[in-house]
Amino acid sequence: MIEHLPILIILGPLLGAVFASLTSWYRPKLSFPVVIFGLAISSLSAILIVFKLAFSELDVIHYQLGGWGTPEKDEYGIVGIQISVDYLNGLILATVSTIGLLTAVFSTRSVERELTGQQRYFFSLFSLLVSGLLGISITGDIFNLYVFMEIAALSSYALIAYGKGRSYMASFNYLMMGTMGACLYLLGVGFVFVKTGTLNIENLSQIIPQTLQNSQAVFVGFVLIMIGAWAKMAFFPLHGWLPNAYSYAPTASGALLAPLATKVSVYAMLRIMITVYSIDYVLKSPSIQSTVLLLSTISILVGSFFSITQSNLRKIACYFIISEIGYMVGGAWLANEPGLKGAIYHVVADAAMTSAFFMIIGCIVYRTGQTELKKLDGLFYKMPLTFVALIITMAALIGVPPTCGFFSKFYLIQGAVQAGTWHFVIALLISSLIKAIILFRIIEIGYNKVPNPAKEGNKTITREEAPLSMLIPTLIVTLSLILIGLFTDKLVTNFIAKALPEIPSL
């Protein structure tokens, strides 16, 4: 069974979703355990495969769907569809599937409350979204990536539209932007395909850097794929859809989409950048590189400044995502070792941070029913654990050591210093400080405004945490922020450094 692990990662949630949609007509209560089972299989396989990679000599594990060709033949891997796990996507797979599983556990109660009577297909769609995201991460075929992209996208439109009210328009806008991104990606694939005739990522990575360095069509394809990925990840100036889509979505959808969807698009961008093309290729067009870096600086600043003007915790979190996207794109496009390390590390770190943030918001919504900052006074006294988790998460977002946010920032700044991109350094620092201001605000409202129990006629302040099925995943993810930080060196030397291509020295 061990050789089938790569496909199990995708099949788990996919089949789980199909079964769940079947059972939902007979035993609606059964859908949830079925989905959990599927996600658990996927998460387990992903973790196993990460360990397999770490403890074996292999650099990459291939899986040949349909069993086409033997490794000796030329057509091996090209004729059929190949999925592969290497150091770059192993981590992403483990992160995505684990967060997917935890979020699923987390969402039960909130779905029960928010979507009473309408949750028939919720968990099917949830699971399909996870399988789409996992597929994007695992596939070794650029067209297959497009199909997975659409699976993830279609299910996320529905998940957002569960929010009712304004979420329909938000979802529609997301659909337009998402489809545009996917179409541009597909067109870019077409431009690459025209010159290479192959769709396999490994094969492309042999062809393009060697023979097609100066092909205009391949270059146009590169730009189109990048724009497509940016539209999907809400990179400035294509970020307009994100805040509404994620903040009007139901809590459970937000908690799944926000941490994973954008990060996986970043992964897709990284994969195309460093595997299909090469860092050489990126460095070859310095004008585009400097433009992208400038855009990521703007993205960071825009996200940060908008976040400080918001009064709703969920909107704040959404604008944080936009600024974090700027970190990752900028780090990747610095195109030097520390920058790329920072970008890849931040994909994992930010997935955990955003997940923790949205889960905490979910807990707060479950108990208090609102996310307006002003109304969270005395939160510490009502939900101490949740509040502490919120502080830790904010600290990670600011970049306080020893949380993971600090180390990604460390690498990113190091990369920017090496590349001499000072505006990026300054943007990173400013965004940290702005997040710090928001942290103070949260502390002042939630901790220093001691609620007066006498006013409500109670003797003491009633402590009421969210139910355990929500609290435990939240705490696990929050703790992981510190753990990821502490094991930075292990992660970087064992995985991220090996995932990097050879970087030409300047």
Q: Per CB under 8 A, which of residues 234..293 are in contact with other proteins?
A: none
d(CA 377, CA 447): 7
Closest C-alpha among 116, 142, 101, 137 to residue 28: 116
Token pair of 198, please?
A: 């192959």
Indicate whether 222 belongs to the interface with other proteins (CB under 8 A): no
Closest C-alpha among 303, 333, 308 to residue 321: 303
Q: With respect to other proteins, which residue has the nearer C-beta, 108 or 173?
A: 173
193 near 199, Cβ under 8 Å?
A: yes
Q: With respect to other proteins, which residue has the nearer C-beta, 148 or 327?
A: 148
Min. distance of Cβ 187 from other proteins in angstroms?
5
- Examine residue 237 and say whether the peptide bond preceding it is cis (omega within 30 degrees of 0): yes
The footprint of other proteins on this chain (CB under 8 A) covers a number of residues equal to 106
> Across-strand partners of 60?
86
Min. distance of Cβ 62 from other proteins in angstroms?
10
Q: Amino acid letter at 408?
A: S
Around Cβ 34, how many Cβ atoms within 10 Å?
23
Q: With respect to other proteins, which residue has the nearer C-beta, 25 or 55?
A: 25
Min. distance of Cβ 225 from other proteins in angstroms?
13
Q: Which long-range contacts (CB under 8 A, 24 or more apart) does 363-368 make?
A: 363/465, 363/466, 363/470, 363/471, 363/474, 364/313, 364/466, 365/110, 365/251, 366/109, 366/110, 366/113, 366/251, 366/466, 366/467, 366/470, 367/464, 367/465, 367/466
d(CA 133, CA 192): 23
Q: Which of 291, 450, 464, 468 binds other proteins (CB under 8 A)?
A: 450
Min. distance of Cβ 55 from other proteins in angstroms?
19
Q: Which of 12, 338, 339, 473 binds other proteins (CB under 8 A)?
A: 338
Closest C-alpha among 347, 204, 199, 345 to residue 267: 347
d(CA 239, CA 307): 14
Token pair of 147, please?
A: 């199909």
d(CA 433, CA 399): 10
Q: Which of 443, 472, 482, 503 binds other proteins (CB under 8 A)?
A: 443
Q: With respect to other proteins, which residue has the nearer C-beta, 467 or 487?
A: 487
Q: Of residues 457-486, which lie at the interface with other proteins (CB under 8 A)? A: 485-486
Site string for other proteins, 107-136 (x = CB under 8 A): ----------xx-xxx-xx--x------x-
Indicate whether 147 belongs to the interface with other proteins (CB under 8 A): yes
Q: With respect to other proteins, which residue has the nearer C-beta, 436 or 467?
A: 436
Site string for other proteins, 187-206 (x = CB under 8 A): x--xx-xxxxxx--------
- The total number of residues written for the chain in this structure: 506
Q: Which of 32, 87, 126, 162 binds other proteins (CB under 8 A)?
A: 162
Min. distance of Cβ 82 from other proteins in angstroms?
10
Dihedral, CA of residue 179, residue 185, residue 189 and residue 191, to nearest 10: 100
Q: Which of 165, 210, 309, 459 binds other proteins (CB under 8 A)?
A: 165
Q: Which of 106, 148, 241, 424 binds other proteins (CB under 8 A)?
A: 148
The 3 state secondary structure assigned to 356-374 is HHHHHHHHHHHHHCCCEHH
Around Cβ 448, how many Cβ atoms within 10 Å?
11
100 near 128, Cβ under 8 Å?
A: no
Min. distance of Cβ 406 from other proteins in angstroms?
8
Q: Which of 206, 291, 448, 452 binds other proteins (CB under 8 A)?
A: 448
Q: Which of 12, 21, 53, 327 binds other proteins (CB under 8 A)?
A: 21
d(CA 401, CA 407): 8
Q: With respect to other proteins, which residue has the nearer C-beta, 22 or 467?
A: 22
Q: Of residues 385-424, which lie at the interface with other proteins (CB under 8 A)? A: 395, 398-402, 406-407, 409-410, 413-414, 417-418
Min. distance of Cβ 452 from other proteins in angstroms?
12
Q: With respect to other proteins, which residue has the nearer C-beta, 374 or 490?
A: 490
Min. distance of Cβ 404 from other proteins in angstroms?
11
Token pair of 310, please?
A: 């918001």
Q: With respect to other proteins, which residue has the nearer C-beta, 446 or 467?
A: 446
Task: Give 67: exposed, middle or buried? Use CB within 10 Å, 0-12, 13-18, 19+.
Answer: exposed
Min. distance of Cβ 375 from other proteins in angstroms?
18
Indicate whether 154 belongs to the interface with other proteins (CB under 8 A): yes
Min. distance of Cβ 18 from other proteins in angstroms?
5
d(CA 271, CA 274): 6
Q: With respect to other proteins, which residue has the nearer C-beta, 99 or 186?
A: 186
Q: Which of 233, 373, 488, 495 binds other proteins (CB under 8 A)?
A: 488
Q: With respect to other proteins, which residue has the nearer C-beta, 19 or 366?
A: 19
Min. distance of Cβ 238 from other proteins in angstroms?
11
Per-residue DSSP letter, 86: E
Q: Of residues 23-82, which lie at the interface with other proteins (CB under 8 A)? A: 25, 63-68, 75, 78-81
> Across-strand partners of 64?
82
